[in-house]
Amino acid sequence: MYELGKREIDAIAKVINSGQLFRYRGGEGGLCDRFERAFAQKIGTKFALTVSSGTGGLICALIAAGVQPGDEVIVPAYTFMATPLAVLGVGAIPIIAEVDESLAIDPASVEANVTRYTRAIMPVHMTGRPCDMNALKRIARRRKLLIVEDACQAIGGSYRGKRLGSIGDAGGFSFNQFKIIGAGEGGAMVTSDLTGYDKALIHHDGGCVFRKHADKVSTPFFAGTNFRVSEITGAIMLTQLKRLDAILARLRARRAAMRAELAKATAFRLSPCNEDAGDCGVSVPILFDTVKQAEAFLKTCGGKKPFWAGSPINSGRHIYSNWEPILKKHGAYHPKVDPFRHARRKVTYSKDMCRRSLGLLARTVSLSVPYDLSVAEVRRAAKTLVP
């Protein structure tokens, strides 16, 4: 979250003064509804649903798209563990594919991992950097697969004129503390498919059958769960969404200044980006020829303010080799509901199954884009990183 202040405080105060914190039972037509309409319009989908986390958003997106228990869903080796957890959350099996130099899922590896059980590809736009969606769409079309985008880290990003999250069959977003806009916790699901939206609406609110809007739901009711949010989340997100364009413009201007300077380096190169204009501008990854060079750069330049620098290889649960419960195939709290028990073929994982991704992640250094400095200050600071 880059901006947070009086506007959010005033919006929350209004909700508290109204005494109406629950989004339903009189809250219909309230702030969550308004946020969903505005968010769907911003992202370019017919529907949006606010939920209590990005993980919940992804689970709803997978349900909306039509992923079913036993299906295989291809996820990248570099993403927060929540992506494969969401796949398990709908009873499906995550299949791990390599990332390429852009650090996004490698379409060639997706293709290589397709089996007769594959139902969906889950591109993850990590650190607001778009995946190669055209290549993925071609594979999906040819192989008759669904695309469910994990846009948790990429709110407002785009690819070839379309907002991330709106390109596939459904998309998920996170509004936790560490995202471009947020409410501390929260998330959303977007889709343009009415039946998919209805399924997500039912699943996110076990009480849906009792709501005023129940008669508008055309999908038969089933037992869901509770991923609902309160009007406080609606109020914060409605306020945050109004800030989004300005935040992205500020980030992108500073990212461009950094890249212009860093492009002059001979010791490293800018990591390729699948769509420069659509990158959210959160960070600038640079790629070295060897791990030693990346480590040496981090030692000498890593602590240099104003940049936070780190290698993605050290990003813990964002690397598949650290997804312990998944590698061990402990897919649920009880074996009877463990999707691995119901897999339609033997799935094997190992810590070194995506060696190319591990190598790329270790040869990459990611530099954060300083939000509070002027463009000139960012340019001057970036100059000091180029030997």
Q: In the complex, which residues of this chain contact ligand PLP (CB under 6 A)?
A: 53-55, 79-80, 82-83, 124, 150, 152-153, 174, 176, 187
Residue nearest to ligand PLP (CB): 54
Distance CA 180, CA 178 (A): 7
The amino acid at residue 200 is A
Retrieve residue 80's tokens: 């927060």
- CB-nearer residue toward ligand PLP: 274 or 385: 274
Shortest distance, CB of residue 209 to ligand PLP, whole angstroms?
Answer: 26
Q: Is 18 left (phi over 0), alpha (psi -120 to 50) or beta?
A: alpha
Residue with smaller CB distance to ligand PLP, 133 or 378: 133
19: left (phi over 0), alpha (psi -120 to 50) or beta: left
Least distance in Å: CB of 153 to ligand PLP? 5
Integer CA distances (angstroms), 53 to 175, 299, 300, 307, in order: 7, 36, 38, 29
DSSP class of residue 271 equals P
Nearest-approach distance from CB 339 to ligand PLP, in angstroms: 18
- Could you please report the per-residue DSSP string of 69-84? TT-EEEEESBS-THHH
In angstroms, the CA 274 to CA 132 distance is: 6
For the CB of residue 138, give the shortest distance to ligand PLP in the complex, in Å. Answer: 23
**Minimum CB–partner distance for residue 78 and ligand PLP (Å):** 9
Nearer to ligand PLP, 217 or 237 (CB): 237
CB-wise, 50 or 79, nearer to ligand PLP? 79
Write down the residue that tokens 């005023």 correspond to: 212
Angle at 372 between CA 368 and CA 378, to 5 degrees: 60
- Listed in order, strand segments (DSSP E) in 263-315 are 269-270, 283-287, 309-310
- Which tokens in the block code for residue 354? 């995506």
Distance between CA 287 and CA 338 in Å, rounded? 39
**Minimum CB distance to ligand PLP smaller for 83 or for 268:** 83
Most distant CA atoms of the chain, gap in Å: 66
Distance CA 381, CA 146 (A): 43
Q: Which is nearer to ligand PLP, 124 or 381 (CB)?
A: 124
Closest separation in Å from C-beta 83 to ligand PLP: 5
3-class secondary structure, 221 = coil
Of the pair 153, 166, the CB lying nearest ligand PLP is at: 153
Question: How near is the Cβ of 176 to ligand PLP at its closest, in Å?
Answer: 4
Residue closer to ligand PLP by CB (options 80, 320) is: 80
Which CB sits closer to ligand PLP, 127 or 239?
127
Q: How far is the CB of 378 from ligand PLP (least distance, A)?
A: 24
In whole angstroms, how close is the CB of 221 to ligand PLP at the nearest point? Answer: 26
- 200: which 2 tokens? 């997500």
Neighbours of 22 (CB within 10 A): 12
